[in-house]
């Protein structure tokens, strides 16, 4: 019997005014897997993430997280999200530790006063992403890769079992890319379901167990080697990739 998907999207359609962002998107992600999300800019990747998070309401279709609504999953800390850099105010006066601690807010109650367990979870998360030495630095002073690792640490501290990462490798150094990739593989090995968008097609087979090719709708979903076939990429990117060397 197939287990209940960690993330299940059924026939989701989203418009922004007259612009069609997602067209009857359906997919299912299982726990313990890393899924790469591939598509050109404007293909709907960020809208898909926001639909799964429940911050964008579909015109039609449904999203279920472990069988429940996204709002419930967010409230219980099941969902973790690493946003694109453009979505973050890097000038805001928060330290790296402060940002990671926001992942614990759902466990603190109304006072949001960290307890020992919260501080230990944050310290552990910072250690895993190799940012302990930068814990007290203002978030905007970090490199691109360090910023992304901070938000991965937030998801770890949160205890999220489903992680959504929107372009985590964009503008990052090789060390951060390797650190994030290793972490995602470890988290999946521990049972997390991970959806990560990326433009790095060459690195996808080492990163992901499966891949989704998106162009407002799902063009292909399967193992990376199959999804990245030239004919599929030509459909998604509008390029004659079959003639390339």
139 and 90 Cβ atoms separated by less than 8 Å: yes
Q: What residue has token string 């992942």?
A: 103
Spatial neighbors of 70 by CB under 8 A, at least 6 apart, are: 52, 53, 54, 63, 79
Whole-angstrom Cα Rg for the chain: 18
pLDDT at residue 58 greater than cutoff 90: yes
Rounded to the nearest integer, the mean pLDDT of the chain is 89
Q: What is the mean pLDDT of residues 214-223?
A: 94
Per-residue pLDDT of 18-41, as tens digits, reads 999 999 999 999 999 999 999 988
Percent of the chain at pLDDT > 90 equals 58
Per-residue pLDDT of 118-154, as tens digits, reads 999 999 999 999 999 999 999 999 988 898 899 899 9
Residue ranges of domains in the chain: 1-78+162-245, 83-160
204 and 178 Cβ atoms separated by less than 8 Å: no
Three-state secondary structure of the chain? CCCCCCEEEEEEEEEECCEEEEEEEEEEECCCCEEEEECCCCCCHHHHHHHHHCCCCCCEEEEEECCECHHHHHHCCCEEEECCHHHCCCCCCCEHHHHHHHHHHHHHCCCCCCCHHHHHHHHHHHHHCCCHHHCCCEHHHCCHHHHHHHHHHHHHHHCCCEEEECCCCCCCCHHHHHHHHHHHHHHHHCCCEEEEECCCCCCHHHHCCEEEEECCCEEEEECHHHHCCHHHHHHHHCCCHHHCC
pLDDT at residue 108 greater than cutoff 80: no
- Cα separations in angstroms, 39 against 133, 177, 235: 36, 19, 10
Q: Let me know if domain 1-78+162-245 sits in CATH 3.40.50.970.
A: no
Spatial neighbors of 146 by CB under 8 A, at least 6 apart, are: 96, 131, 134, 176
Distance CA 183, CA 180 (A): 5
Residue 243 has a pLDDT of: 40
Q: pLDDT confidence of 241, banded at 50, 70, 90?
A: very low
């Amino acid at each position: 019997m197939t287990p209940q998907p960690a993330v299940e999207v059924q026939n989701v359609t989203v418009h922004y005014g007259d612009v069609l962002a997602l067209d009857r998107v359906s997919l299912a992600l299982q726990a313990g897997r890393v899924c790469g999300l591939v598509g050109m800019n404007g293909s709907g990747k960020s809208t898909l993430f926001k639909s799964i998070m429940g911050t964008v309401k579909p015109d039609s279709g449904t999203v279920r997280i472990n069988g429940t609504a996204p709002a419930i999953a967010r409230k219980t800390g099941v969902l973790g999200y690493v946003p694109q850099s453009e979505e973050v105010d890097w000038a805001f006066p928060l330290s790296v530790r402060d940002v990671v601690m926001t992942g614990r807010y759902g466990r603190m109650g109304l006072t949001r006063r960290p307890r020992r367990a919260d501080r230990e979870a944050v310290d552990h998360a910072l250690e895993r992403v190799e940012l302990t030495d930068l814990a007290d630095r203002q978030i905007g002073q970090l490199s691109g890769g360090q910023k992304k690792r901070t938000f991965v640490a937030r998801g770890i501290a949160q205890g999220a079992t489903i992680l959504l990462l929107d372009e985590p490798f964009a503008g990052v150094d090789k060390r951060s890319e390797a650190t994030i990739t290793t972490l995602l593989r470890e988290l999946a090995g521990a049972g997390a379901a991970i959806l990560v968008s990326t433009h790095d097609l060459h690195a996808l087979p080492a990163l992901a167990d499966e891949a989704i090719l998106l162009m407002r709708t799902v063009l292909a979903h399967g193992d990376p080697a199959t999804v990245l076939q030239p004919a599929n990429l030509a459909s998604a990117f509008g390029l004659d990739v079959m003639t390339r060397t």
